[in-house]
C-alpha cells in the first residue's frame, strides 16, 4: 500500500502534536519530518514520544527547509509570518502544502494564490468536515432567506486565541455573502458600541467570545421578524481539525497546481 509522505512544521505545539497523532492514526500516511521554531527547547526530541504515540524515529529539527521535499506534503498550522515564509520554501522544493494558519491578511492570501500557480495548496479556515458542511448549508439557507432575514454570526474560542473573528467565522461570512451576491468587506460589521443607528439590512454581523478552553463554537443566525433559524457547530476536540488536515494532505498529493479548499476535497 502506497503511503502519502508528510512533513509537519510547528510540530511541537498543541496543534502540531495532534497532527502527529492524526498522521499516526492514518495507515495511508507516514510522517517523515517535523520542525519547530529555532531556539525551542524541544529541538532534537522524538516527535512521536512528544505527541504521546511512542517513538517514531522522527526528531524535531529547527530548520523548516529540512522538512520540505518534492515527495512530501507539508502541513502548516503555524502563524501568518511563518507560513508566508514557508510558502517560498515550498515553491523552491515543489512541495504541496496544507495550510490551516488563520489570520493571514489579503496580501498573504494573494501570495498563496500566486504560489498555487506552481504547487498544489489546500488553504481552508477550518478542516472539520462538519464545519464545511455548515458552510454549504448556511449558504443555501441565505439564498432562500435573502431579503427577509438578518444574518449574524457568533463565534466562541479559548482565551489564548489571538485573532478575531476566527478564520472559521470569516469563512462562514464569506459563504453567506457570496450566496447572496454581497462583498463581505463591504457588509461585514465587526464591532458595535454606542449609538450605532439602525441595522443595515445588507449587513452581516459578527460577535466574538473568548474564554476558558472552548475549542470552537460557531453559530449562523438567520433572524426574521416572526421567526429565526440557527445553525450551530461545536467542536469537542481539536482532533477533528487534525484529521481533516491529514485527509487534505492525502488528497492534495495527487493534484495539479492550484488553490483548493475543503469543499473541493469533500465534493461540496
Query: Which residues are annotated as catalytic?
Result: 157, 161
Query: Between helices 129-145 and 239-252, what is the axis angle to 10°?
Result: 90
Cell numbers at 95, concatenated: 512541495
17-47 core/surface letters (b: 16 or more CB in 10 A; e: else): bbbbbbbbebeebebbbbbbbeeeebbebbb
Calpha distance 240→147 (Å, rounded): 35
Q: Where are the beta strands (DSSP E) in the chain?
A: 4-9, 29-35, 60-61, 73-76, 97-99, 120-123, 150-157, 188-189, 204-210, 216-223, 228-235, 258-260
DSSP string, 16-37: HHHHHHHHHH-TTEEEEEEE--
For residue 28, cis peptide bond before it (omega within 30 degrees of 0): no
SS3 70: coil
Amino acid at each position: 500500500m502506497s503511503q502519502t509522505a508528510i512533513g509537519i512544521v510547528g510540530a511541537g505545539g498543541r496543534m502540531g502534536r495532534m497532527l502527529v497523532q492524526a498522521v499516526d492514526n492514518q495507515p495511508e500516511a507516514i510522517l517523515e519530518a517535523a520542525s519547530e521554531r529555532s531556539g525551542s527547547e524541544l529541538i532534537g526530541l522524538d516527535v512521536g514520544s512528544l505527541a504521546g504515540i511512542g517513538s517514531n524515529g522522527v526528531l524535531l529539527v529547527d530548520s523548516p527547509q529540512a522538512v520540505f521535499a518534492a515527495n512530501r506534503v507539508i502541513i502548516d498550522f503555524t502563524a501568518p509570518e511563518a507560513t508566508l515564509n514557508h510558502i517560498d520554501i515550498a515553491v523552491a522544493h515543489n512541495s504541496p502544502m496544507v495550510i490551516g494558519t488563520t489570520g493571514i491578511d489579503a496580501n498573504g492570501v494573494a501570495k498563496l494564490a500566486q504560489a498555487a500557480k506552481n504547487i498544489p495548496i489546500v488553504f481552508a479556515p477550518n478542516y472539520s468536515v462538519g464545519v464545511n458542511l455548515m458552510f454549504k448549508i448556511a449558504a443555501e439557507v441565505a439564498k432562500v432567506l435573502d431579503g427577509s432575514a438578518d444574518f449574524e454570526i457568533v463565534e466562541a474560542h479559548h482565551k489564548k486565541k489571538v485573532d478575531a473573528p476566527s478564520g472559521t467565522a470569516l469563512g462562514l461570512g464569506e459563504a453567506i455573502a457570496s450566496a447572496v451576491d454581497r462583498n463581505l468587506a463591504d457588509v461585514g460589521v465587526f464591532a458595535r458600541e454606542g449609538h450605532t443607528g439602525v441595522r443595515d439590512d445588507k449587513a452581516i454581523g459578527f460577535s466574538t467570545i473568548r474564554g476558558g478552553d472552548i475549542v470552537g463554537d460557531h453559530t449562523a443566525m438567520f433572524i426574521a421578524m416572526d421567526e429565526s433559524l440557527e445553525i450551530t457547530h461545536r467542536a469537542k476536540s481539536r482532533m477533528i481539525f487534525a484529521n481533516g488536515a491529514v485527509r487534505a494532505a492525502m488528497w492534495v498529493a495527487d493534484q495539479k497546481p492550484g488553490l483548493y479548499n475543503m469543499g473541493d476535497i469533500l465534493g461540496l
